[in-house]
Amino acid sequence: MSEPILYTSPVPEQAPSKKAALLALLMDLQVHTNLECMDAGGARAGARLLELRREGWCIETHFVETRRGRYSYQLHSKNQGEHVLNELGKCKRCGEQVSPF
């Protein structure tokens, strides 16, 4: 019996993750609507924003009634973990409670 023929295909280049695409959009430090975020981060852009916040990114949410969406988001620093804290340890921009530890 002859050996089976194995077919292989080239490894496709991996597309950037939805979270990475969303972070790349926000890196210009401009305000982006929820629909712009969904274009970059997919239908679960809110979940991707939560993941980024849990990783330490300071992302502020604005409620804005516009034709293209109700919320907008803005990254405040290109440096992960950089927050502007009030005396209670809460970020003045995104409202995140930041642990002093």
pLDDT at residue 21, rounded to an integer: 94
Q: Give every CB contact of residue 24 below 8 A, 6+ residues apart in sequence.
A: 16, 40
pTM above 0.75, yes or no: no
Hey, what are 70's tokens? 């109700």
Give average pLDDT by consecutive 10-residue segment, the chain, 101 residues.
66 74 94 92 93 90 76 87 78 73 51
Spatial distance between the Cα atoms of 67 and 42, rounded to a whole number of angstroms: 19
Query: Domain spans of the chain?
Result: 17-101
pLDDT at residue 84, rounded to an integer: 77
Nearest to 42 by CA among 64, 20, 72, 61: 20
> What ranges in the chain are assigned the alpha helix state H?
18-26, 34-41, 45-54
